[in-house]
Amino acid sequence: MKGIILAGGSGTRLSPLTRVTSKQLLPIYDQPMIYYPLKTLLDGGITDILIITAPDHAGDFLMFLGSGKDFGAKFTYEIQDEPGGLAQGLALAETFVGDDSCVMILGDNLYEHNFKKDFEDFASGARIFVKEVHDPERFGVVEMDERGHVLSIEEKPSKPKSNYAQTGVYVYDEHVFDLIRTLGASDRGELEITDLNNVYLEKGALTASTIEGKWIDAGTFESLFKATEWRREWVAQHTKKNKS
């Protein structure tokens, strides 16, 4: 299984911080943001990883992360010339992935959950990962049956059918790139990941797993601050534990 970190985009929600650097290189306490999705993949057993970046800061990622040797991994880099939706970003990974399955993680998503078993158990179709939230109307809302089969996905509905939000990790089989080619642009002019997931849903090939622990989408000032607080508390607890 190949890994993909989507770290493109313009980071407009975090301007002016992102005028001179990528959102994914901003610090979250003692580490840059991209370390967190990278660790999620590495802890999940994924070591062959493609990092997709915007052209303005591609050199910064290369200088910062290198070949992957320091992480016990192999890194490849790809440029997303302009934001065109998550599915369009994923399409850039076709040559890298080849006939393998793949997992894509958004570069501003932080997880406590360990995905290793989820990745190892994946066989075919597509799998998304959900988290129960108190404000589902802010997210893509996933309705599931008791077996984890997805019944519907609605983007920011006014009347959510569940409290489960779709998070920023997606696993796909080798057919994903053929399916992306069938997508049309949304009203925003982008290839949407929800549209791709709905193609799998229509085929009866989309499942969802519930994640444990904290999940933070650090793409806003408020969530970036919460992520920093979470990391600071984690470091303090582990420092105290190591001293005792």
pLDDT band, residue 208 (cuts 50/70/90): very high
Q: Do residues 174 and 160 lie in contact, with contact meaning Cβ atoms separated by under 8 Å? A: no
Q: Kindly write down the DSSP assignment for every residue of 34-94, as one continuous string.
A: THHHHHHHHHTT--EEEEEE-GGGHHHHHHHHTTSGGGTSEEEEEE-SS---HHHHHHTTH
The domain of 48 spans: 2-243
Residue 150: CATH number of its domain: 3.90.550.10
Kindly state the average pLDDT of the residues 81-89.
Answer: 91
**Residue whose C-alpha is closest to residue 99's, from 176, 169, 170:** 176
Domains identified in the chain, total number: 1
pLDDT at 72 over 90: yes
Write the pLDDT tens digit of every residue in 7-54.
987 778 888 888 888 999 999 999 999 999 999 999 999 999 999 999
Q: What is the pLDDT of residues 169-185, one digit of tens each?
A: 999 999 999 999 999 98
Tens-digit pLDDT profile for residues 9-22: 777 888 888 888 89
The rounded mean pLDDT for the chain is 93
